[in-house]
């Protein structure tokens, strides 16, 4: 089975269709309801208690009316995309598995989780489920080996929560450069701009994957971290989930803007010196 076929099979299993190699794989933001995850902090601490009227959202410079500003109300989909290439063995594998188990134990009963693993092949050992035990079992059964198809794996992760109304957190770990993907970094970034998943990524310090992961996280309103030791993974995974739960989910119906193309987003809080982290824009259809 070729690695290219595996990417196609994974995406088909997720309920999507892979386009020809020369075309860009996409999924589109709906312009009748744009969702934006936003982290609002002051002094490094999350700001609670804000409502729709407290936010300013500019879509291509045009002010929008925020219809919803929910905080810790919607379930979370945690989609783990974990490197299982030949470099992830021994203590490194044990620490990664422990981090995955730790974050899965932190899920609420209504949350869901899924697992994407990648070497030179991308697999979906466990689709979205509320049974975190199934995801833990899939994590523990993974057998590392082979090259690294990071870009293809991120694509599968972005699709894993597609069409699910919950908030999608794609949590990526990779310890090396991509050596086996069919898709390109530009295609993955373009795909991320068309959805509302938020990507948080971790890699060892000075890993070759770090620049791509930083760009991906920035484009989705997430963050990328480099760790000095994989012993930090468990605490980082849980901290990421906690931060994600403290984000506001904003929703608005675009008015006064053209439906297609790139939409630059600006999100601010009225009458406060708050810092807002959100995606810089989206691609409409």
Domains in the chain (CATH in brackets) are 3-14+73-245 (3.40.50.410), 34-71+248-284 (no CATH)
- The whole-number pLDDT of residue 163 equals 84
Mean pLDDT for 42-59 is 96
Lowest mean pLDDT across 24-28, 95-99, 172-176? 24-28
Q: How many Å apart are CA 47 and CA 144, to the nearest integer?
A: 41
Q: Where are the beta strands (DSSP E) in 194-240?
A: 198-204, 224-227
Residue with tokens 């082979």: 146
- The whole-number pLDDT of residue 73 equals 76
Mean pLDDT for 21-49 is 73
Q: Where are the beta strands (DSSP E) in the chain?
A: 34-42, 45-46, 55-59, 62-64, 66-71, 76-83, 112-118, 122-129, 167-173, 198-204, 224-227, 248-252, 261-269, 275-278, 281-284
Closest CA to 250 of 45, 107, 54: 54
Instruction: Report the chain's terminal Cα–Cα distance, integer Å.
Output: 35
pLDDT for residue 22 is more than 50: no
**Which is higher by pLDDT, 114 or 30?**
114
pLDDT for residue 19 is more than 50: no
- The whole-number pLDDT of residue 213 equals 95
Closest CA to 276 of 245, 240, 248, 242: 248
Phi-psi region of 94 (alpha: psi -120 to 50; beta: other; left: phi over 0): alpha
256, 237 Cβ separation under 8 angstroms: no
119, 149 Cβ separation under 8 angstroms: yes
Residue with tokens 């997430």: 222
Mean pLDDT for 175-183 is 94
Lookup: tokens for 21: 């190699």
250, 226 Cβ separation under 8 angstroms: no
- The whole-number pLDDT of residue 72 equals 76
- The whole-number pLDDT of residue 74 equals 84
pLDDT digits (tens, 9 = 90+) for 184-225: 999 999 999 999 999 999 999 888 888 999 999 999 999 999
Mean pLDDT for 146-168 is 94
pLDDT digits (tens, 9 = 90+) for 141-154: 999 999 999 999 99
pLDDT for residue 28 is more than 80: no
Lowest mean pLDDT across 19-33, 37-51, 125-139? 19-33
- Sign of the Cα torsion 5, 7, 8, 12 reads positive
- The whole-number pLDDT of residue 8 equals 46
């Amino acid at each position: 089975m070729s690695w290219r076929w595996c990417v196609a099979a994974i995406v088909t299993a997720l309920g999507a269709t892979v386009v020809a190699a020369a075309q860009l794989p996409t999924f589109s933001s709906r312009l009748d309801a744009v969702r934006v995850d936003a982290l609002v902090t002051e002094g490094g601490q999350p700001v609670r208690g804000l409502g729709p009227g407290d936010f300013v959202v500019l879509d291509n410079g045009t002010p929008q009316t925020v219809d919803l500003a929910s905080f810790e109300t919607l379930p979370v989909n945690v989609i783990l995309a974990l490197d299982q290439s030949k470099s992830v063995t021994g203590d490194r594998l044990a620490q990664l598995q422990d981090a995955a188990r730790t974050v899965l134990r932190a899920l609420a009963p209504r949350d869901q989780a899924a697992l994407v693993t990648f070497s030179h092949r991308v697999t979906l050992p466990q689709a979205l489920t509320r049974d975190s035990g199934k995801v833990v079992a899939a994590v523990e059964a993974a057998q590392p080996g082979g090259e690294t198809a990071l870009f293809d794996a991120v694509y599968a992760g972005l699709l894993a929560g597609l069409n699910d109304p919950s908030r999608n957190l794609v949590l990526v770990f990779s310890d090396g450069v991509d050596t086996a993907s069919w898709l390109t970094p530009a295609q993955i970034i373009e795909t991320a701009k068309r959805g509302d998943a938020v990507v948080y990524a971790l890699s060892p310090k000075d890993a070759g994957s770090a620049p791509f992961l930083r760009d991906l996280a920035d484009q989705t309103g997430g963050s990328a971290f480099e760790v000095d030791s994989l012993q930090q993974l468990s605490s980082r995974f849980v901290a990421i989930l906690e931060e994600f739960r403290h984000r506001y989910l904003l929703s608005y119906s675009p008015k006064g803007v053209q439906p297609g193309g790139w939409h630059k987003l600006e999100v601010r809080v009225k009458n406060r010196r708050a810092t807002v982290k959100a995606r810089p824009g989206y691609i409409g259809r």
